[in-house]
Amino acid sequence: MNWPHIFTAMITPFDQNGAVDTDTAGRLANSLVNHGSDGIMVAGTTGESPTLSDEERRSLFYAVKSHVPDHIPVWVGTGSNDTRQALSWTRQAESWGADGVLVVTPYYNKPPQYALVQHFSEIAKATQLPVMLYNVPGRTGTNVEPETVLRIIDQAANLLAVKEASGNIGQIAHLLDQVPDHVKIYSGDDALFYPSLALGAHGVVSVASHVIAEPLVEMLSAWQTGDIARAQALHRTLLPLFEELFRLTNPIPVKWALAQLGWPVDSVRLPLAFPDDPRVFDRLGHLLTQALGLDLSAAKVG
């Protein structure tokens, strides 16, 4: 299994009629890889998965898979708050040739920890693909505790990774201390990528990599080669941008940022919407200009 260090949780482009724009999706995926992403996640939260039909998921996956090199893994988000639906999406993703599946904690219904063990185990046992558990209590209302993750791993041998987006560095440390070495832990927050690396995480499932992949790669490389001071400096420099990319609900800010770089992705599906006042993005534009060292008014699609 090729385990990326920088997985991009990819946005879903929509055309002027609101349909999934598979041409732009393919080109964007290729650009992400060329700029340093070594894995792509489609149909996740950043991809506005709750608004995608089964056919849109399929066409999005094929568009991305056909535009990236064979060695780049393309995973599909298949989580739901209905276990039966998650099973269906997982089986579909496997039939398409996905390299793995990302399964988010059930949202809204707030299952207890013992029920989470049953939910994730049932999904993992229904596929031969590697499974990444996605813990994001800020979106789902439920935290998957480290002890629960261990129980799921005991029951499902292909639960091989965790995207930890609790925002709790202590929980990340406990998780890393307890899980078997073969289970990869990913930061689910760009702002905690470096701190998670320092604790022993394998990588990040990133939103910021849409626009600043090279600095992320440089920070990772500095950490891997022992240049801790450089890694720390890059983290401090990028932190305001990481935070601003989540000032509004993801993926609204990152789609705005990509649009400033020339990508035709300046729309989201309801219930998300862009703000009426474009000044909301003034600080993001300033930070992006600083990070990229370019004039956004002259930027072109990369």
Question: Looking at the domain assignment, is residue 70 inside a domain?
Answer: yes
Reported as a single tens digit per residue, the pLDDT across 180-199 is 999 999 999 999 999 999 99
Question: Looking at the domain assignment, is residue 191 inside a domain?
Answer: yes
What is the Cα–Cα distance from 294 to 292, expressed in whole angstroms?
5
Q: Output the six-digit token pair for 153.
A: 């791993």
Is the CB of residue 123 less than 8 Å from the CB of residue 94?
Answer: no
Q: Residue 28's domain spans which residues?
A: 6-253
The angle at the Cα of 88, spanning 158 to 72, to the nearest 5 degrees, equals 50
Question: Looking at the domain assignment, is residue 271 inside a domain?
Answer: no
Query: So what's the pLDDT on residue 67?
Result: 98
Reported as a single tens digit per residue, the pLDDT across 254-281 is 999 999 999 999 999 999 999 999 899 9
Query: So what's the pLDDT on residue 297?
Result: 47
SS3 state of residue 185? strand
Question: Looking at the domain assignment, is residue 272 inside a domain?
Answer: no
What is the Cα–Cα distance from 37 to 60, expressed in whole angstroms?
18
Number of domains in the chain: 1
Query: So what's the pLDDT on residue 302?
Result: 38
Round to the nearest angstrom and report the end-to-end CA distance of the chain. Answer: 29
- CA 133 vs. chain centroid, Å, equals 12
Q: Sign of dihedral through CA atoms 75, 17, 256, 301?
A: positive
Tell me the catalytic residues: 134, 163
**CA atoms within a 13 Å half-sphere pointing along the CA-CB vector of 272:** 21
Question: Looking at the domain assignment, is residue 297 inside a domain?
Answer: no
Query: So what's the pLDDT on residue 28?
Result: 98
Question: Looking at the domain assignment, is residue 299 inside a domain?
Answer: no
Question: Looking at the domain assignment, is residue 153 inside a domain?
Answer: yes
- Alpha carbon of 37 to those of 52, 106, 187, 227, 286: distances in Å? 24, 28, 15, 21, 24
- Identify the CA nearest to 251 among candidates 240, 267, 262: 267
What is the Cα–Cα distance from 261 to 2, expressed in whole angstroms?
30
Question: Looking at the domain assignment, is residue 120 inside a domain?
Answer: yes
Q: DSSP letters along 142-162, please?
A: ----HHHHHHHHHH-TTEEEE
Q: In this structure, what CATH number is given to the domain that contains residue 198? A: 3.20.20.70
Per-residue pLDDT tens listing for the chain (302 residues):
789 999 999 999 999 999 999 999 999 999 999 999 999 999 999 999 999 999 999 999 999 999 999 999 999 999 999 999 999 999 999 999 999 999 999 999 999 999 999 999 999 999 999 999 999 999 999 999 999 999 999 999 999 999 999 999 999 999 999 999 999 999 999 999 999 999 999 999 999 999 999 999 999 999 999 999 999 999 999 999 999 999 999 999 999 999 999 999 999 999 999 999 989 999 999 999 999 875 544 444 43
